[in-house]
Amino acid sequence: MITILEREDHERWLTGSYDDVIALQQPFPADRMTVRGPEFRRERERP
């Protein structure tokens, strides 16, 4: 599972117990996510 860590959780992730690691594997809050789609170059519209 991909895990996104806060800066203050890095040490706990690397040296913590199995239970610590499992506790850090939580869904990332949707309100903190951004989505960017591909950017397509648009041709100039013709009359």
Separation of alpha carbons 40 and 38, rounded Å: 6
Query: Which pLDDT tens digit goes with each residue over 5-46?
Result: 999 999 999 999 999 999 999 998 899 988 887 777 767 665
pTM over 0.95? The answer is: no
DSSP assignment of the chain: ------GGGHHHHHHS-HHHHHHH--PPPGGG--------PPPPPP-
pLDDT of residue 2: 84
pLDDT of residue 7: 95
2 or 6, higher pLDDT: 6
Predicted confidence band of residue 47 (pLDDT cuts 50, 70, 90): low
